[in-house]
Chain A
Amino acid sequence: MSIGQSAGSAPAQEGFDAAPLEELLVKYQGQKGTLIPLLQGTQAVYGFVPREAMTRIAEALREPLSQVYGVATFYAQFRLVPRGRNVVRVCHGTACHVSGAPLISQEVERHLGIRNGENTEDMFFTLEDVACLGACGMAPVMMINDRTYGKLTPDKAVAAVKEFRSKTEGGGQNGGDPAASADAEATPATEEEA
């Protein structure tokens, strides 16, 4: 199957809990044009779109799996692999670009040791380049989860990432503990913005 190959890095979801997906399928039953809302709902519940969910959606909609996979990979919003517990979004809108966003990304990438779209090994951070966060007056900007950091320089950006980590870990979350990360991986992400 093409899905197995293309989403090869996705860890097998042992004990995929289909119940929330079944609820979604009931909610949208009989309506037109529901594939995208179903995928959005799936991602909101599971934190990403698991392979098993795509198979089930295809079956329920009587669509070929290729159609579901095609839609899921066409739109930037859908992720087929799990995401880290915290998301760093570096804005690359025009205003941010001309104000130095490439340097911000470069330094944050160097600090975290990952590239755009990747997770840190401990699943603490995911790094994402985004098109425009809409805070053009404060360019260049970056978000860590829901908080926006504006008028950045490369060192301010790295300092913010460091501070976030030390605060969060100091605050009792086991950010660096691999055992805890494995647990968190299976936990549905709840901070989904959409």
Chain B
Amino acid sequence: MGVAETIRRPVAGRPRRGTPDVEIGICMGTGGVAAGGDDVFAAFQQGLKASGVYGVVKPREDTCEGGCASITGTGCRGMCAMDVLVDVTTRTGGQQRTVTYGTVTPAMVDKIVADHIVGGEPVHKWIVLSEEEPTSHNEFYQYQDRLVLRDCGRIDPEDIDDYLDEGGYQALYKVLTEMSPVQVQEEILASGLRGRGGAGFPTGLKWKFAAEASSPDGQKYFICNGDEGDPGAFMDRSVLEGDPHTVFEGMAIGSYSIGASEGYIYVRAEYPLAIKRLKIALIQAEERGLLGDNIMGSDFSFHLKIKEGAGAFVCGEETALMQSIEGKRGMPRLRPPFPAVSGLWARPTNINNVETLACVPWIITHGAAAFSGRGFEKSKGTKVFALTGKVKRSGLAEVPMGLTLRDVIFKIGGGIKNDKPFKAVQMGGPSGGCLPESLLDTKVDYEELNRTGAIVGSGGMVVLDADNCIVDTALYFLKFTQAESCGKCVPCRVGTMRMLEILARICEGEGVPEDIPLLEDLAANIKAGSLCALGGTAPNPVLTSLKYFLEEFEEHIHDKKCRAGACAALTTYWIEAENCNGCRACARACPVDAISGEKKEVHVIDADACIRCGACYEKCRFDAVRRQ
């Protein structure tokens, strides 16, 4: 046991010096800050000071002897539609109680301080979550199983002691003291963990390949892929912003397992807050000896660097990502050799996604069986989905594999905004597809979703309602992949452009019947002739749309009609005289002054001047503006 004795178990360096009577946690993820989290934070600081009852303390620095409160900026806790979210925990008479307020603005803070924090009576109308007074929003968390997001929104991501208090780096300690590298691979393999970036490859197997590969100079690399590029997916960002150390810990465990001593986290440049928090976390972890030379006093060393991407979707592909780290254009290359054999600077390299790595410390701590006990058939554990679009409660939801799409959208998401009819759910972003109502009972599972033509992908789930056009949505994704194609393979570079032109002309009302077989033909060639997954999956949004919503394409082509009213060239607007009360709201909204009519008289849209932007349609509250 000589080795284990020299290895030091990590503990919080600055223990809490007391428990404040009031703890306030404010969401300061990207969503929270965008909604005004900074201002709310400042308002609470001011409001508490002004109340004179509570002094604001930092529990690790100040002693707290009654009459004190703490304010913490936390990461994202998922319910982004309700940002800024504020947790207020009070301890009075030995009773602890937490309620969460939603859509908090600085103007609301004084009342929360006066009524709740000082007066002891919560402001009931603003509560979105509370154990004592369940609201409909409690459903948001009821069906979730938060392993990856276990600490997100609970801890201060800029304070390593918060993570250590939650058992942080204990999994790494366990690995260093009790497990051999092979045992780590076997444990991860037994858990059934598969790559959460989209491909779904067994993580334990990936580690085994990298561990067994030999390196000419002994150097191997471990990379975390944080180049989350799918529009509509933001789970990796939330983990990096809300719980950066869990990703470091997962990487260190993986590096121990494959024998790497150097690693990189590659993060999108578009995630400045994540980069900032990673840099803070890295300094703190190195100061505590949890990363760097001789971790925890062991003979295992692991040096980590944070690498900022420069804005290229294709760099999410592993071989392109490595080119980018080397300072080159991020262009994918042929595999084999796989990165496990020859990767970064031609050394054996392992690459895992952020969410995958965040699962690792949990699996080591709780055991493989606890992870594989969750889930469905070949998809074990949980998956985080970014639920957005026309859904009432958009946000991040971590669910056990095997839950149905219907449960995610209607129970967690609360159904469709304004109770409009559901039309489709887009799964897996530009590599995935749109699924119709009839497939809503499909389970969240790699194999089941693949059979539909959509994919689990990185976990984007965008809900569409009757106002969204399927052809336009397919066009949107193709525009994205066309622009992001690196240009190396002709079928991808030229083929996506041709498909884009065809879709654009269908939306313009200039489609011809031959366009549909032509799209299918191009799609087959692009899929077959592209080197990497970008090209290989780029046609998927079009193909699934054709499979499930063919009649909408045909309406655009044959009837020159867009049933959603989204394709401007195929839509006309007019005013139904019976319903118009002459309020002028539509005329004021019209950017080109195409609506005429005196106040309190029926208005008229000048069809020649109308640019079909839909502003009047959105504005009218009397159902007088119609479109077809």
In the complex, whether B345 has a CB less than 8 A from a CB of chain A is yes
Task: Check B232–A138 contact: CB distance below 8 A.
Answer: no
Q: Of the candidates A34, A74, A135, which one forms a contact with B329 in the assembled complex, judged by CB atoms under 8 Å apart?
A: A74
Q: Which residue of B lies closest to A101 (CB)?
A: B476
Q: How far is the CA of A132 from the CA of B386 in the complex (A)?
A: 13
In the complex, whether B614 has a CB less than 8 A from a CB of chain A is yes
Q: Of the candidates A40, A97, A131, which one forms a contact with B308 in the assembled complex, judged by CB atoms under 8 Å apart?
A: A40
Task: Check A74–B330 contact: CB distance below 8 A.
Answer: yes
A contacts, CB < 8 Å to B:
32-37, 39-40, 70-71, 74-78, 92-95, 97-100, 103, 106-107, 110, 130-139, 141, 148, 150, 153-155, 193-194
Against A, the Cβ 8 Å flags (1 = close, 0 = not) of B384-420 are 0010111000110000000000000000000000000
Specify which chain A residues have a CB less than 8 angstroms from the CB of B591 in the assembled complex.
Answer: 107, 110, 154-155
Specify which chain B residues have a CB less than 8 angstroms from the CB of A94 in the assembled complex.
Answer: 231-232, 388-389, 426, 429, 460, 462, 476
10 contacts between A and B (CB under 8 A): A35-B328, A74-B329, A76-B311, A94-B232, A94-B460, A95-B388, A107-B591, A148-B33, A148-B35, A154-B615
Q: Of the candidates B83, B389, B589, B613, which one forms a contact with A106 in the assembled complex, judged by CB atoms under 8 Å apart?
A: B613
> Smallest CB–CB gap between B350 and chain A, Å?
18
Against A, the Cβ 8 Å flags (1 = close, 0 = not) of B1-39 are 000000000000000000000000000001101110000
Against A, the Cβ 8 Å flags (1 = close, 0 = not) of B340-380 are 00000100000000000000000000000000000000000
Task: Check B80–A136 contact: CB distance below 8 A.
Answer: yes
Q: How far is the CA of A193 from the CA of B232 in the complex (A)?
A: 21
Q: Of the candidates B83, B460, B464, B468, which one forms a contact with A137 in the assembled complex, judged by CB atoms under 8 Å apart?
A: B83
Q: Given A103-B615, A136-B394, A153-B615, A39–B589 Cβ distance below 8 Å?
A: no
Q: How far is the CA of A93 from the CA of B508 in the complex (A)?
A: 22
Specify which chain A residues have a CB less than 8 angstroms from the CB of B229 in the assembled complex.
Answer: 131
Q: How far is the CA of A148 from the CA of B29 in the complex (A)?
A: 13
In the complex, whether B583 has a CB less than 8 A from a CB of chain A is no
Task: Check A136–B386 contact: CB distance below 8 A.
Answer: yes
Q: Given A106-B613, A137-B394, A155-B589, A132–B31 Cβ distance below 8 Å?
A: no
Q: How far is the CA of A192 from the CA of B389 in the complex (A)?
A: 30
In the complex, whether B139 has a CB less than 8 A from a CB of chain A is no
Q: How far is the CA of A75 from the CA of B330 in the complex (A)?
A: 8
Q: How far is the CA of A75 from the CA of B327 in the complex (A)?
A: 11
Most chain B CB atoms below 10 A, which of A107, A132, A155: A132
Most chain B CB atoms below 10 A, which of A40, A94, A148: A94
Specify which chain A residues have a CB less than 8 angstroms from the CB of B325 in the assembled complex.
Answer: 33
Q: Given A33-B325, A131-B270, A136–B31 Cβ distance below 8 Å?
A: yes
In the complex, whether B618 has a CB less than 8 A from a CB of chain A is yes
Task: Check A193–B272 contact: CB distance below 8 A.
Answer: yes
Task: Check B613–A77 contact: CB distance below 8 A.
Answer: no
Task: Check A137–B80 contact: CB distance below 8 A.
Answer: yes
Task: Check B464–A98 contact: CB distance below 8 A.
Answer: yes
Contacting residues of chain B (413-463) with chain A, CB-CB under 8 angstroms: 426, 429, 460, 462
Specify which chain B residues have a CB less than 8 angstroms from the CB of A138 in the assembled complex.
Answer: 31, 34-35, 80, 83
Q: Which residue of B lies closest to A137 (CB)?
A: B80
Q: How far is the CA of A154 from the CA of B480 in the complex (A)?
A: 23
Task: Check B269–A95 contact: CB distance below 8 A.
Answer: no
Q: How far is the CA of A144 from the CA of B426 in the complex (A)?
A: 29
Q: How far is the CA of A169 from the CA of B278 in the complex (A)?
A: 37
Q: Which residue of A lies closest to B615 (CB)?
A: A154
Task: Check A99–B389 contact: CB distance below 8 A.
Answer: yes
Task: Check A36–B324 contact: CB distance below 8 A.
Answer: yes
> Smallest CB–CB gap between B324 and chain A, Å?
7
Specify which chain A residues have a CB less than 8 angstroms from the CB of B234 in the assembled complex.
Answer: 132, 134, 136
> Smallest CB–CB gap between A152 and chain B, Å?
11
Task: Check B388–A139 contact: CB distance below 8 A.
Answer: yes
Task: Check A71–B31 contact: CB distance below 8 A.
Answer: no
The 5 A-B pairs at the shortest CB distance, nearest first, are namely: A137-B80, A76-B311, A94-B232, A75-B310, A95-B388
Task: Check A133–B232 contact: CB distance below 8 A.
Answer: no
List 7 extra interface pairs beyond A33-B325, A131-B270, A139-B394, CB under 8 A.
A34-B327, A78-B311, A94-B429, A136-B80, A154-B589, A154-B591, A194-B269
> Smallest CB–CB gap between B161 and chain A, Å?
27
Task: Check A154–B310 contact: CB distance below 8 A.
Answer: no
Q: Which residue of B lies closest to A153 (CB)?
A: B618
Specify which chain A residues have a CB less than 8 angstroms from the CB of B310 in the assembled complex.
Answer: 36, 39-40, 75-78
> Smallest CB–CB gap between B495 and chain A, Å?
20
Specify which chain A residues have a CB less than 8 angstroms from the CB of B468 in the assembled complex.
Answer: 98
Q: Of the candidates A36, A75, A98, A106, which one forms a contact with B473 in the assembled complex, judged by CB atoms under 8 Å apart?
A: A98
Specify which chain B residues have a CB less than 8 angstroms from the CB of A133 in the assembled complex.
Answer: 30, 34
Q: How far is the CA of A91 from the CA of B30 in the complex (A)?
A: 14
Specify which chain B residues have a CB less than 8 angstroms from the CB of A155 in the assembled complex.
Answer: 589, 591, 615
Q: How far is the CA of A99 from the CA of B618 in the complex (A)?
A: 11
Specify which chain B residues have a CB less than 8 angstroms from the CB of A33 in the assembled complex.
Answer: 325-327
Specify which chain A residues have a CB less than 8 angstroms from the CB of B308 in the assembled complex.
Answer: 36-37, 40, 194
Q: How far is the CA of A13 from the CA of B237 in the complex (A)?
A: 38
Q: Given A133-B34, A136-B386, A93–B232 Cβ distance below 8 Å?
A: yes
In the complex, whether B312 has a CB less than 8 A from a CB of chain A is yes
